[in-house]
Amino acid sequence: MPPFLHPIEDPADPRIEAYLDIRERDLKGRGGRFVVEGEVVLQTALKLGRFAIESILIGENRVVPLADLLAGVPTSIPIYVATRAVLDRIAGFPMHRGILAIGLRGEPASPESLLAGMPENALVVGLSGIANHDNIGGIFRNCAAFGVDGVLIDAASCDPLYRKAIRVSAGATLVTPFAQGGDIAMLCDALLAHGFEVLATSPAGRETLHDVAPRKRQAVLFGAEGPGLPGGILSRLRSLRLDMRGGFDSLNVATTSGIVLHHLAR
């Protein structure tokens, strides 16, 4: 069935208000909404995402190339087609990606409620101070690829539903369940209380990844490159490192998460 499209000619049309001034709102927030960019991420949001999509906005010139995607959009989601005048109001933004959507955050999960819903066999990731959108996006992409059941994120880490984090994650932050709040020590306590073996990653870890076998309920914590996890956390937990060769012992935290999760997800 061909999609039903709503042409928008007036940039002040209230139906597309959420799309205007995209970059400015990255900073001041967008009140319970988030932005999805591009065909691949939107496909993921529609097929695997846990959040409601409120509407879709597409440039006139992209209607034909993206016809297949549009045909699969549920009729309950309005698809707005933007003219030049509207595109100009989302200025500075790469609308050449051709398609945007607005999603609704809904009620955020608490760490406690996320853990209460975990299955008997579960792999959980805990993040401390991951303030870089590329890194949090990259970590979530790995979590989704290796079937992580949930991500607990401390308050010092950035928002997984920030526009760039969603894009870098290839939509994974819309797929893998997460809860954000508190500090990593609190999150660690909650994991232990729910019967998880909690592993801490650190370049100074006492064991290597190869020493660690997958368990029924397992969680692995990652800290920011540089500061890493707090010392108080490292001393309480099994800590693991990746063996590197030569004098260059530096790995990106998202890459580290990929290596560790590939190992534990077997």
The reply on whether position 239 binds a second copy by CB under 8 A is: no
- H or E segment and range at residue 145: helix 133-145
**163 Cβ partners below 8 Å, 6+ apart?**
22, 26, 34, 35, 37
d(CA 97, CA 107) in angstroms, rounded, equals 29
Residue of 15, 23, 47, 216 that binds a second copy (CB under 8 A): 47
Interface mask (CB under 8 A) for a second copy, residues 163-202, using x and -?
A: -------xxx--x---------------------------
How far apart are CB 170 and a second copy at their closest, in Å?
A: 5
Taking a C-beta distance cutoff of 8 angstroms, is the pair 160, 150 a contact? no
Closest distance of CB 210 from a second copy, Å: 8
Shorter beta-carbon distance to a second copy: residue 128 or 142: 142
CA separation for the pair 210, 225 (Å, rounded):
22
Is the CB of residue 1 less than 8 Å from the CB of residue 71?
Answer: yes
Nearer to a second copy, 16 or 114 (CB): 114
For residue 250, state whether it binds a second copy (rule: CB under 8 A): yes
Task: Return the CA Rg of the chain.
Answer: 20
Among 12, 48, 104, 131, binds a second copy (CB under 8 A): 48
Q: Site map for a second copy, 64-103, x if CB under 8 A?
A: ----------------------------------------
Number of helices and strands in the chain (H, E)? 10, 12
CB of 174 to a second copy, least distance (A): 10
Size, binding site for a second copy by CB under 8 A: 36
Does the protein bind a second copy through residue 251 (CB under 8 A)? Answer: yes
Cα 152 to the center of its chain, rounded Å = 12
- 244 near a second copy, judged by CB under 8 A: yes
CA 35 – CA 264 distance, rounded (Å): 32
Q: Residue 183 half-sphere exposure, CB side, CA atoms within 13 Å?
A: 5
Nearest to 209 by CA among 174, 177, 251: 251
Q: Which is nearer to a second copy, 142 or 239 (CB)?
A: 142
Tell me which residues in 129-158 interact with a second copy (CB under 8 A): 134, 138, 141-142, 144-147
211 in contact with a second copy (CB under 8 A): no
> Are 41 and 166 within 8 A, CB to CB?
yes
Q: Is 247 among the residues that bind a second copy (CB under 8 A)?
A: yes
Interacting residues with a second copy (CB under 8 A): 44, 47-48, 134, 138, 141-142, 144-147, 170-172, 175, 209-210, 242-252, 254-256, 258-259, 262, 265-266
